[in-house]
Amino acid sequence: MRPTKIKYAPLFCIALICHVPTSQAELADRDKPMHLEANQLSIDDIKQISVFEGKVQLTQGTMIVNADKIVVVQDKEGFKHGTATGQPASFRQKRDNVSGYVEGYGERIEYDTQTASIDFFGQARLKQDQDEVRGEHITYNSRTEVFQVNGTSNKGRVRAIIQPKSKRSSVGEPLSIKPTSTLTKPNEHQ
C-alpha cells in the first residue's frame, strides 16, 4: 500500500500532528524541564534507560503524554527517544504562535528529540481543532512540517476530515470593529 503524503495542507494546518503540528508545536517546550509521574520507575544509569509504568504522565511545557508505560532512552549526545504505550496512549501540545492544540492517539507513540518527529502506531488518530486524520501509522516531523498517514494492508484506508476555512480568516486581515450609535435593544425593533 502506498503511503498518503500531505505537505502543509489545510489539515496541518493540522500540523500537528504531534510536535505536531505551522503549526509547529510550541517551540518553547524544548527548553522546559520534563516531568514524569508513574506508579513505578526503573532507571538504568549506565544504559541511560528509564522505564515508567502505571498511569504515566509526561509533561514538558504545554506537551502532555499519558500512557500505561513510557520508556525513555538517552543517547551519548543527550537526545532522547521515548516510546509510550497504552489503550490508547495520548499526546497533546499547544501550537506555536497560534491558538489551539494538536492531539494524537495511538496504541504506541514514539518521539525522537533529535529528528523532532513523532510517530503514532495502531489505530492512530491526529486532530487539530475540527480537522482529523486516521490510519494505522501517522508520522509527523515538526521541522519540515510534513506528515504521512498509512493505512493497513488489509483495510488499506486512510481517513481525513478537513473543515472548510472561512473566507475572512484565509485573507489574513483582522476584522475591524467600530463603535456604532445605531444599535437597538433586543425586541425594540418590533
* Strand partners of residue 121: 108, 137
- The answer to whether the predicted template modeling score (pTM) of the entire model surpasses 0.85 is no
By the 10 Å C-beta count (0-12 exposed, 13-18 middle, 19+ buried), 67 is classed as buried
Give pLDDT tens digits along the chain (190 positions). 444 443 333 333 223 333 333 345 566 777 888 898 999 999 999 999 999 999 999 998 888 999 999 999 999 999 999 999 999 999 998 877 777 888 999 999 999 988 888 999 999 998 888 889 899 999 977 666 567 888 865 667 888 888 887 644 444 555 455 554 555 555 555 4
Helix (H, G, I), strand (E, B) or coil at 27: helix
Q: What does residue 167 show for φ and ψ, rounded to 5 degrees? A: -65, -35
Rounded Cα gap, residues 26 and 137, in angstroms: 23
Spell out the domain ranges in the chain: 4-164
By the 10 Å C-beta count (0-12 exposed, 13-18 middle, 19+ buried), 103 is classed as buried
> Which pLDDT belongs to residue 53?
98
Q: Look up the CATH superfamily of 4-164.
A: Lipopolysaccharide (LPS) transport protein A like domain (2.60.450.10)
- 173's CB contacts (< 8 A; 6+ apart) are none
Rounded Cα gap, residues 150 and 136, in angstroms: 6
